[in-house]
Amino acid sequence: MSMGSGSAMIAAVLILLFCLYSEMAHAATYTVGDAGGWTFNTAAWPKGKRFRACDTLVFNYSPGAHNVVTVDKAGYVNCRTPRGAKVYTSGNDQIKLARGQNYFICNFSGHCEAGTKIAINAL
């Protein structure tokens, strides 16, 4: 196992433990893109919303038409998939936000460039 995936696993466990506490108080669930779902031109969807750590994002899409990849800032800006990135493919992916910046793209060829990408700051 590489250092990268080891620390990613530890981070995932810490988020899980932290969220067990905060969930009782105040966790919200958001459907990315609202009725339109996770598709092209979704990059502006987070605008004007306030997200908190442990809120859940639901990504709805047709499997095979899109996917959801957890990336870093460079991956978001440049539409590149970092090594070891987590890939979701169910078409109904529920992902908890970590505190701070969270970046997601679809890494099908050209889709991120066409706005199938979101950046979210969770307080």
| Positions that interact with ligand NAG (CB under 6 A) | 69, 81, 85, 87, 107, 109
CB of 54 vs Cu ion, minimal distance in Å: 26
CB of 112 vs Cu ion, minimal distance in Å: 8
For residue 85, the partner it binds in ligand NAG, Cu ion, none, with Cβ less than 5 to 8 A by kind, is ligand NAG
- Compute CA distances 66 → 9, 15, 18, 55, 102, whole Å: 25, 26, 30, 22, 19
Whose Cβ is closer to ligand NAG: residue 20's or residue 77's? 77
CB of 55 vs ligand NAG, minimal distance in Å: 25
Q: Quote the CA–CA distance of 12 and 43 in Å, as a whole number.
A: 25
Whose Cβ is closer to Cu ion: residue 114's or residue 122's? 114
Q: Quote the CA–CA distance of 93 and 103 in Å, as a whole number.
A: 15
59 class by beta-carbon count within 10 Å (0-12 exposed, 13-18 middle, 19+ buried): buried
Residues at the interface with Cu ion (CB under 5 A): 66, 106, 108, 111, 116
